[in-house]
């Protein structure tokens, strides 16, 4: 049925086109030959539409990617900004915490407490105390005259100016009490090494307390701050002056004891010389009496004895005269130059003075149990004005002092040639011992050198004892 219908359609088409059936079938065959091209065109169109869809999707994806990158850049910038802000806040908090820690601990390090430069330089602690009292009286006047705090604003409370003034006065009183408490706490802690740190602490408290009063416009005044800082400086220098005066008093007492010992030695030498002279005079008088009555050989023997006694008497008289002269010369004494290479090294010398009759007694006292080795003498210079010679040498070598703060410490980092040149210019030519004997030190070094070369000679320490007492079992390294 379907075939018949198709045949009818073909016949109708041929009639319409004026074609024969054969031509119609030829045309159909040609169409069948090019049907693949038609299919290819359709496939091309289909691929083109797919490509357009893909391009459209690519463009959309590119746009979405661009939008995402922009959002990522924005988020990253916001994140970096937030991180930078947070980091700045943390660093600021850390710096503030470190500053607070330094202020509380008052570190001994020079960078934390700074180097204090004296501002007043008064001669005595009494003058410092008077200045301190005057500064505290000045602070009382500041408070009494309402000059310690300032509030330029006129406040009203519930419409009342009186209540406003009362509020300001109470708030200012609280701020002033807090600031005074901080200042008092700092001033009571002042020592030789923390004046600068405590000054920074007071300034920091000044800023923090004024910040609390900023909302009401109340501030502690700069002159009041300056007065508190002046009090801190005066107290610091007062403590320093008191310490210096105590050191000076100790030095004076030591000098008095030294002079008393020297005076006793001179008096004892004088008494001894007087006693020896009296004995010699008595013996000479007795010999002379016997000489008058003697004859012959006995006379010759007694004559020789008299001559000998006369010579011994003259020596005793000379000793007595020297002792009396020494007692009359209150400034005479010896300036010594000594070293202790085992304790301090080869370039450290002590230059001091003693009025002891035997200056080596003083040198031996210095080398007592407080130092591991005895001192060696390089020069012992007698002078009728020993204090002046000592002071002149100290002034000449002032820049070479080991202790630049306490001038009563008489150690100098200097060469022996420099000391000898200074003595020659100030006193005259003096013989110096250039190489110190340092017997105990050199023997100790030799002993340690031998122990290192022969370990079995080193003293042994039980392991348990060494562990419990912290003794090192290794060989000593020497003192040089």
* 3-state helix, strand and coil shares in percent for the chain, rounded to the nearest 5: 70, 5, 25
Percent of the chain with pLDDT over 90: 24
Residue-wise pLDDT for 38-92, tens only, equals 667 777 778 778 778 888 888 888 888 888 888 888 888 888 888 888 788 888 8
Q: Residue 370 falls within a domain, yes or no?
A: yes
Greater pLDDT, 35 or 199: 199
**474: confidence class by pLDDT, cuts 50, 70, 90:** very low
| Residue 100 sits in the same domain as residue 14 | yes
Does 262 score more than 90 pLDDT?
no
Query: What pLDDT, on the 0 to 100 scale, is given for residue 9?
Result: 60
Q: Residue 5 falls within a domain, yes or no?
A: no
CB < 8 Å & 24+ apart, contacts of 413-422: 413/347, 413/348, 414/347, 414/349, 415/347, 416/337, 416/349, 416/378, 419/337, 419/349, 419/351, 419/378, 419/379, 419/393, 420/379, 422/393, 422/396, 422/397
For residue 267, the enclosing domain spans: 263-327
Query: What pLDDT, on the 0 to 100 scale, is given for residue 125?
Result: 86
Mean local confidence (pLDDT), 157-180: 88
Residue-wise pLDDT for 341-390, tens only, equals 999 988 899 999 888 878 888 888 888 878 899 999 999 998 888 889 99
| Residue 198 sits in the same domain as residue 93 | no
Query: What pLDDT, on the 0 to 100 scale, is given for residue 96?
Result: 73
Q: Residue 109 falls within a domain, yes or no?
A: no
Tokens 């200056």, residue?
359
End residue of a domain, out of 300, 327, 354: 327
Q: Residue 3 falls within a domain, yes or no?
A: no
Greater pLDDT, 30 or 125: 125
Tokens of 398: 């002032």
Distance separating alpha carbons of residues 71 and 96, to the nearest angstrom: 37
**316: confidence class by pLDDT, cuts 50, 70, 90:** low
| Residue 233 sits in the same domain as residue 153 | yes
| Residue 293 sits in the same domain as residue 383 | no
Closest Cα to residue 449, out of 423, 422, 475?
475
Of 77-86, 126-135, 375-384, 394-403, least confident by mean pLDDT is: 77-86
Distance separating alpha carbons of residues 160 and 8, to the nearest angstrom: 119
Q: How far from the centroid of its chain's Cα atoms is residue 57's Cα?
A: 73
Mean local confidence (pLDDT), 134-143: 92
Tokens of 442: 């050199």
| Residue 146 sits in the same domain as residue 233 | yes
Distance separating alpha carbons of residues 320 and 329, to the nearest angstrom: 14
| Residue 402 sits in the same domain as residue 359 | yes
| Residue 291 sits in the same domain as residue 350 | no
Does 326 score more than 80 pLDDT?
no
| Residue 237 sits in the same domain as residue 268 | no
| Residue 133 sits in the same domain as residue 91 | no
Does 141 score more than 90 pLDDT?
yes
Q: Residue 200 falls within a domain, yes or no?
A: yes
Closest Cα to residue 187, out of 228, 240, 143, 142?
228
Q: What is the mean pLDDT of the chain?
A: 78
Query: What pLDDT, on the 0 to 100 scale, is given for residue 339?
Result: 93
Query: What pLDDT, on the 0 to 100 scale, is given for residue 298?
Result: 66
End residue of a domain, out of 245, 271, 288: 245
| Residue 321 sits in the same domain as residue 341 | no
Query: What pLDDT, on the 0 to 100 scale, is given for residue 373?
Result: 92
Distance separating alpha carbons of residues 412 and 398, to the nearest angstrom: 8
Residue-wise pLDDT for 13-49, tens only, equals 666 655 566 666 666 666 566 566 666 777 777 877 8
Q: What are the backbone angles phi and psi of residue 54, rounded to the nearest 5°?
A: -65, -40
| Residue 410 sits in the same domain as residue 450 | no
End residue of a domain, out of 73, 104, 135: 104
Q: Residue 258 falls within a domain, yes or no?
A: no
Q: Residue 273 falls within a domain, yes or no?
A: yes
Mean local confidence (pLDDT), 259-287: 68
Count of domains for the chain:
5
Q: Residue 367 falls within a domain, yes or no?
A: yes
| Residue 135 sits in the same domain as residue 233 | yes
Buried residues in 244-272 as b, exposed as e (16+ CB within 10 A): eeeeeeeeeeeeeebeebbeebbeebbee
Helix (H) / strand (E) element for 132: namely helix 125-144
**116: confidence class by pLDDT, cuts 50, 70, 90:** low
Query: What pLDDT, on the 0 to 100 scale, is given for residue 124?
Result: 85
Mean local confidence (pLDDT), 419-441: 89
Distance separating alpha carbons of residues 208 and 179, to the nearest angstrom: 9
For residue 434, list its beta bridge partners.
none
């Amino acid at each position: 049925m379907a075939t018949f219908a198709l045949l009818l359609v073909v016949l109708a088409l041929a009639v319409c086109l004026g074609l024969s059936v054969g031509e119609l079938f030829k045309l159909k065959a040609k169409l069948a030959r090019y049907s693949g091209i038609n299919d290819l065109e359709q496939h091309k169109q289909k691929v083109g539409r797919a490509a357009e869809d893909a391009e459209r999707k690519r463009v959309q994806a590119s746009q979405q990617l661009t939008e995402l990158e922009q959002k990522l850049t924005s988020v990253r910038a916001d994140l970096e900004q937030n991180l930078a802000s947070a980091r700045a806040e943390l660093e600021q908090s850390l710096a503030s915490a470190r500053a607070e820690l330094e202020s509380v601990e008052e570190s001994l390090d020079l960078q934390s407490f700074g180097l204090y430069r004296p501002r007043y330089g008064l001669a005595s602690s009494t003058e410092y105390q008077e200045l301190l009292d005057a500064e505290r009286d000045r602070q009382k006047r500041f408070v009494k005259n309402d000059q310690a705090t300032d509030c330029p604003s006129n406040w009203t409370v519930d419409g009342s100016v009186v209540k406003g003034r009362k509020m300001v006065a109470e708030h200012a009183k609280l701020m002033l009490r807090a600031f005074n408490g901080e200042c008092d706490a700092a001033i009571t802690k002042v020592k030789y090494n923390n004046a600068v740190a405590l000054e920074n602490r007071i300034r920091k408290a000044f800023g923090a307390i004024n910040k609390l009063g900023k909302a009401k416009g109340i501030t502690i005044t700069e002159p009041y701050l300056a007065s508190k800082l002046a009090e801190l400086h005066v107290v610091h220098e007062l403590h320093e002056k008191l310490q210096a005066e105590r050191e000076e008093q100790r030095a004076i007492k030591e000098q008095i004891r030294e002079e008393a010992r020297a005076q006793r030695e001179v008096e004892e030498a004088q008494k001894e010389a007087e006693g020896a002279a009296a004995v010699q005079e008595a013996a000479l008088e007795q010999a002379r009496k016997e000489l008058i009555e003697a004859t012959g050989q006995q006379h010759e023997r007694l004559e020789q004895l008299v001559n000998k006694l006369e010579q011994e008497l003259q020596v005793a008289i000379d000793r007595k005269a020297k002792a009396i002269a020494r007692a009359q010369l209150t400034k005479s004494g010896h300036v010594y130059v000594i070293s202790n290479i085992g304790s301090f090294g080869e370039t450290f010398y002590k230059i001091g003075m003693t009025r002891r009759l035997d200056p080596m007694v003083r040198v031996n006292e210095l080398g007592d149990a407080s130092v591991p080795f005895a001192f060696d003498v390089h020069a012992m210079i007698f002078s009728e004005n020993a204090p002046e010679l000592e002071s002149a040498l100290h002034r000449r070598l002032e820049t070479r002092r080991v202790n630049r703060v306490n001038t009563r410490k008489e150690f100098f980092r200097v060469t022996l040639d420099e000391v000898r040149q200074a003595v020659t210019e100030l006193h005259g030519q003096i013989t110096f011992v250039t190489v110190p004997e340092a017997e105990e030190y050199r023997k100790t070094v030799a002993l340690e050198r031998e122990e290192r070369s022969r370990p079995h000679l080193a003293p042994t320490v039980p392991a348990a004892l060494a562990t419990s007492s912290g003794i090192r079992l290794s060989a000593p390294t020497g003192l040089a």
